[in-house]
Chain A
Amino acid sequence: MWFLLTALAALIASVLWYINAPEDKYKFSLLSFIYWGATIMWLVDHVKAYTLDRGEFFEVNNNATALGFSVVLFGLFVWLVVLMVSDPKGVWKKVLKR
């Protein structure tokens, strides 16, 4: 389930990047890369696990769903930290000058 939720997040982040492109003020490209990197890795993980163990391809249960939302939130958190540190709008400068 976390694979599906991350893939969905990757698609949404890519759409947001494309809407704003070629400008990338809010670093949506970074958010896309974070989610796509994880999506590719989990795709390989799922395919390998499925071919080796023949188990369920998508784990659909509460634990897997909670993990899915957690990783999506974590990706957002990392992106937000980078955004705050780089401060493309110069908000910190303006706030601290007051």
Chain B
Amino acid sequence: MACFLVPTGEALVTTVIQKIAKKKEEKAGGERTGNTSTKWSQRLGWLNKLLWGGVIMLCLEHIWHGEVVPWPPFLTAMDTPGDVKPMVHEIVTFGIPMAISVTVVWAIMVVFVELRAKATKDVPEVKAQTVDGGV
């Protein structure tokens, strides 16, 4: 009915956080050299894209099923007072797990990338040597 409203709310919040993080990084960028592992605005950008991508696709699905209309109150469930309670129930039971799942997948992605970045840094650089021998 309106489960995508929870990820929409989260996407709005994370978009604002990303903008703030980007500004802070740009300020700090003048003082230190770019370190990709501290680029939180980039990491938050992934979460934003996942959330907004999911939201727009789910919005289309809800329009398809006639649950969302382009005129007020936009949600067809809002027209019937009896449908409001099931709609809120659906937002809680479907919307919150959706938002949590996307965030967990993103967190796993970030941890994986951070570990890979750390592993790449820890490997000492080996100079290439020419080896004699062979035919």
Interface residues of A (CB under 8 A from B): 2, 6, 29-30, 33-38, 40-45, 48, 52, 67, 70-71, 74-75, 78
Which single residue of chain A is at the shortest CB-CB distance from B51? A37
Whether B56 pairs with A36 at a CB distance below 8 angstroms is no
What is the minimal beta-carbon distance from A91 to any residue of chain B, in angstroms? 23
Which single residue of chain B is at the shortest CB-CB distance from A71? B57
Chain B interface residue count: which class?
Answer: 20 to 34
What is the minimal beta-carbon distance from A49 to any residue of chain B, in angstroms? 8
Given A45-B3, A45-B94, A37 and B61 contact (CB-CB distance below 8 Å) = no
Whether A38 pairs with B94 at a CB distance below 8 angstroms is no
Whether B57 pairs with A48 at a CB distance below 8 angstroms is no
Give the complex CA separation of A52 and B93 in angstroms: 10
Give the complex CA separation of A41 and B7 in angstroms: 9
What is the minimal beta-carbon distance from B69 to any residue of chain A, in angstroms? 17
